[in-house]
Structure 1
Amino acid sequence: MKFKITLTTVLKFLGSIILLLLVLNLACVWMQYVIEDKKPFHIFFIRLFDFNQEANIPSFFSSLLLLTVAVLLYFIYRYEKKTEQKAMGWQGLALVFTFLSIDEATEIHEFLIGYFRTHYEFSGYFYYAWIIPYSTAMLLLGLVYIPFFKRLDGRIFILMMVSGAIFIAGAIGMEMLGGNTMENEGFGLRYMIFYTIEETLEMAGVSLFIFSLLRFLAGRKKNLSFKLKPSGG
């Protein structure tokens, strides 16, 4: 049995999930901002779907997206390894996204916040101090990967850069605005708006990156397909 899935279908599918999660998160925002006497259902619903919560459905989906990127990057590495010598860049990116997936699921960056606040007393836009080491690492990685990006096809390069810019705008940009708001105003509507935009941009950026990687594979393989065979066949 053979299934064929178009790239547009994949992008629409991921976009639909993001839109659904966004609507559920907005319901959580409404509950937190409007309902003062929250019942157990409200608390459970917020815990399950609020973008600001950890280890819930949106964070699981985000982690799954990042893991999907890591798997696709590894597939590309294995394919490119057969045709050229300079394929290690794909493997390096696969390792980076594997770490990001684990970080999303286990909150590694949260430990860095406590460490940096204790030792360096960051505040304002660097209230969430994990931004500093992660941004530094991202900048260094970008410089190291300049030769790798130069070898990419123009359209794939643009797609990857746009997806990366969307992700960074959420993960770094909105996180800085949210951190400054949290420190000066506390948890309120403005802060909820910032983390809603942040997580939406992150998921959208990673989804577009998945699309760009699938398009890269499609250009190499012409058709994306997979077969299901009986175990004894």
Structure 2
Amino acid sequence: MAIRIPDKFPRKLLVICLLIEIALVMLFFLTALFSEQGGLLYKLFNLDYEKNIPTLFSSLQLAAVGMVFFVMSRELTHDASLPISFDITVGAGFLFLSFDELLSVHERITSSLKHIDYLPRFEGDHGLWVAPYLALGILLLLILRKPVLHLLRTYRRESLIMLLGAILFVLGGVSLEVLSYELIRAHDYPWYVYALEVAMEEFLEMVGISIVLYGSLLLFKARSLDGGE
């Protein structure tokens, strides 16, 4: 049985995700202000912590994007310009990012690579994961360049929406993290400066994923209407 996405579902899901993200940021500030530091509520909603509610939410969003591409690989027809391997590879990539978010794989990579002196890093030996992830991302883009260019030509609106989301995700996950470690955490700024940076960093990441999810659902609908190619 073919899977169909209701016309208003992608937009409604985007709005719901954005409302949840705004709520998570507000809870982050409220628990930082009024709950005991190190207490359960503080840990559950701290955007700078791992394995808590914001992390689970981000992980679920990334997994949802991966599942959309896996469903496209099964439900749609493919040709040489947009092969099934493209959908499977992109789906697997987002599932990996989901597990990374949930299990802090990049933090484990940072710990295991500290002894390699020539790898670029942030202040205090943080961010060692950025270089290998960036190299892998560039390699995948080179391998998938033909189907990516086909998507940009054929499904420009949907592709540009996903690209916008990816840019916001990287801006939050990498650019603001560089700013945090190099300029904020290395100095004795008031706690609210650090809190604002963390909130902006994580909010951009979550919003970016939401937009990518929205774009992937629009892409599914558009490809379905075109006969799946």
Tell me which interval the TM-score lies in, with the shorter structure as reference length: 0.7 to 0.9
Match of 1:229 in 2: none
Match of 1:107 in 2: 104
- Counterpart-to-counterpart distance in 2, 1:218 and 1:3: 7
Match of 1:210 in 2: 213
- Counterpart-to-counterpart distance in 1, 2:145 and 2:163: 12
Q: Is the 8 A contact 2:165 2:208 kept in 1?
A: yes
- 2:24 is equivalent to residue 21 of structure 1: yes
Change (3 A) 1:157 1:193: same
Q: Is the 8 A contact 2:59 2:101 kept in 1?
A: yes
**Greater Rg by CA:** 1
Q: Residues 140-162 of structure 1, C-alpha deviation per residue, up to 9 Å, x if partnerless?
A: 22232221211111112211211
Match of 1:150 in 2: 149
C-alpha displacement at 1:183, in angstroms? 3.6
SS in 1 for 2:134: helix
SS in 2 for 1:119: coil
Match of 1:66 in 2: 62
- 2:137 is equivalent to residue 141 of structure 1: no
- 2:58 is equivalent to residue 84 of structure 1: no
Q: Is the 8 A contact 1:113 1:130 kept in 2?
A: yes
C-alpha displacement at 1:8, in angstroms? 1.6
Q: Residues 68-92 of structure 1, C-alpha deviation per residue, up to 9 Å, x if partnerless?
A: 0110010112233x34242211110
How much identity, in percent, do the aligned residues show?
Answer: 23
Length, aligned pairs only: 213
Q: Is the 8 A contact 1:127 1:183 kept in 2?
A: no
- Counterpart-to-counterpart distance in 1, 2:100 and 2:199: 19
**Could you tell me which amino acid in structure 1 is paired with residue 84 of structure 2?**
A
List gaps (5 residues or longer) in structure 1.
Answer: 223-233
Q: Residues 123-173 of structure 1, C-alpha deviation per residue, up to 9 Å, x if partnerless?
A: 439732211211222222223222121111111221121111011101111
Change (3 A) 1:117 1:191: farther
Q: Is the 8 A contact 1:66 1:97 kept in 2?
A: yes
Change (3 A) 1:4 1:145: closer
Correspondences of 1:3-42 after superposition (within 5 Å): 4=6, 6=8, 7-31=10-34, 38=36
List gaps (5 residues or longer) in structure 2.
Answer: none
Q: Is the 8 A contact 1:126 1:179 kept in 2?
A: no
C-alpha displacement at 1:3, in angstroms? 9.5
- Counterpart-to-counterpart distance in 1, 2:90 and 2:100: 15
- Counterpart-to-counterpart distance in 2, 1:133 and 1:191: 27
Q: Residues 104-127 of structure 1, C-alpha deviation per residue, up to 9 Å, x if partnerless?
A: 111111112222333328443973
- Counterpart-to-counterpart distance in 1, 2:54 and 2:63: 14
**Could you tell me which amino acid in structure 2 is paired with residue 166 of structure 1?**
L
Q: Is the 8 A contact 1:127 1:176 kept in 2?
A: no
SS in 1 for 2:176: helix
Alpha-carbon RMSD? 2.5
Q: Is the 8 A contact 2:159 2:219 kept in 1?
A: no
SS in 1 for 2:127: coil
